[in-house]
Amino acid sequence: METLELLGVALGLATLAGINLYLTVFVTGLSIQQGWIILHPQYAQLGVLADPAILWISGILFVLEFFADKVPWVDSLWDAVHILVRPIGGAMLAITVLGNSHPVYSVIVGLLAGGMSLTAHGAKAGTRLQANASPEPFSNIGLSLTEDVGVLGGLALIYNYPVVSLIVSLSGVAIVIWLAPRTFRATRAMLWFVWRRVQHALGAAPSSIEPPPLPPDIEITLCRNRGEDVAVKWAAPCVSGRGEHLRGNIFGWLLLTTGEKGGLDFIQNTGNTFKLEPIPTHGWKALQRSGWVCDKVVLYEIHEGKKQTFQFDRSRRALAIALANELNRQSAENSLMAA
């Protein structure tokens, strides 16, 4: 049981360090200095955190992070700077907890602690990046305060119930790893949109009015599935959003074709080949929404409440508007014919 408690403290502190390293160090050290907590003999080495120099440095850095963490995009820049700082700090905290243990044991726990800190940091940074899609500061402030309260609550749990803290930390890391593919796709898409937004602002990605030429592999896939008689009326690279037919944040091309076998299709590169996914449009309407980072075209069906979203970088706003208008025109024509 003593070993589990030691691991609970070491890995618990490392996980919290991945969220807010400076708050974890400062509150732990201040609690020890003020006598709010009495360290058990096996954790006596944590007393170093109560050193005035460590308290001053961690306190000043926490104040800086407190304000930086609540400003859109500044928080993501701060997270980028700390991509190595937090895991290293978490590993050092865990090793400090172990004290004079066997070197092999210290290395193993240090590696585990660094990995858990990195996982917690990745979850925090990815969540913040998604929140920054809206430039308003309220979501950032709310997330930051929630994280700070979570760290304080986590420290209380570590001190009172270290074994429970170990279970919570391992469960949290397992959930983050399980969600990692989805988080990675969302983060990659957001970074791409931000990069295209910067290029567009600098004039390196001028606004597209005409559909760009199709890559050969996309054209081949289209002909194989739709036939050679179809004609491309509209095409643009985009990223899928949430919907009935596609997973979110998949890179591909959206194409609208005419002809007997024409329709709306999303073509993605699956690694070994290209896959075409037909998107139904009969009875559906379209809505174009302009955003700060990216634009969206929302396809929706009123009666059953189904939706499918596609995301476009800012340089292709005109194409997104043209697609929504064309789909709505086709929907109106189909309704008149049915009447």
Per DSSP, 31 falls in state H
How much is the pLDDT for 293?
Answer: 87
- Answer yes or no: is 80 within a domain: yes
What angle (nearest 5°) sits at the alpha carbon of residue 328, between those of residues 285 and 223?
Answer: 95
How many domains does one find in the chain? Answer: 2
What does DSSP assign to residue 69? T
188 inside domain: no
pLDDT at position 135 is: 66
The token pair that represents 258 in the structure block: 């005419």
Residues of the chain with pLDDT under 50: none
Question: How many Å apart are CA 223 and CA 67, to the nearest integer?
Answer: 54
8 Å CB contact between 306 and 242: no
pLDDT value for 338: 60
**Residue 187 located in a structural domain:** no
- Please say which residue of 132, 149, 178 terminates a domain: 178
Rounded CA gap, 244 and 300, in Å?
10
Regarding whether 150 and 7 lie in a shared domain, the answer is yes
Phi, psi of 99 (to 5 degrees): 70, -135
Residues 122 and 15 in one domain: yes
Q: Does 107 share its domain with 220?
A: no
Buried b (16+ CB within 10 A) or exposed e, 48-62: ebbeeebbeebbebb
Q: Are residue 173 and residue 221 in the same domain, yes or no?
A: no
Residue indicated by tokens 């007997």: 260
Asked if residue 310 belongs to a domain, the reply is: yes
Residue 193 is assigned to a structural domain of this protein: no
- Note the pLDDT of residue 235: 92
Provide CB contacts within 8 A for 9, sequence distance 6+: 43, 97, 158, 162, 165
Beta carbons within 10 angstroms of residue 304's beta carbon: 9
Task: Specify the pLDDT at position 255.
Answer: 93
Beta bridge partners of 255: 235, 265
Question: Are 30 and 143 in a shared domain?
Answer: yes
Q: Are residues 29 and 113 in the same domain?
A: yes
How many CB atoms within 10 Å of residue 108? 11
pLDDT given at position 104: 86
Pair 155, 25 in one domain: yes
226: amino acid identity, one letter: R
CA 315 to chain centre: 23
Predicted pLDDT of residue 273: 86
Amino acid 101: pLDDT: 76
Q: Are 8 and 160 in contact (CB under 8 A)?
A: no
Q: Could you list the residue range(s) of the whole structural domain that residue 322 is in?
A: 216-338
Q: Report the predicted TM-score, pTM, of the whole model to 2 decimal places.
A: 0.81
pLDDT of residue 188: 92
* Residue 107 vs residues 91, 95, 118, 170, 234: alpha-carbon distances, Å: 9, 8, 16, 18, 57
Q: What sign has the CA pseudo-torsion 136, 142, 148, 154?
A: negative
Do 159 and 53 sit in the same domain of this protein?
A: yes
Instruction: Give the Cα separation of 209 and 78 in Å (integer).
Output: 37
| Cα–Cα distance measured from residue 151 to residue 142, given in angstroms and rounded to the nearest whole number | 14
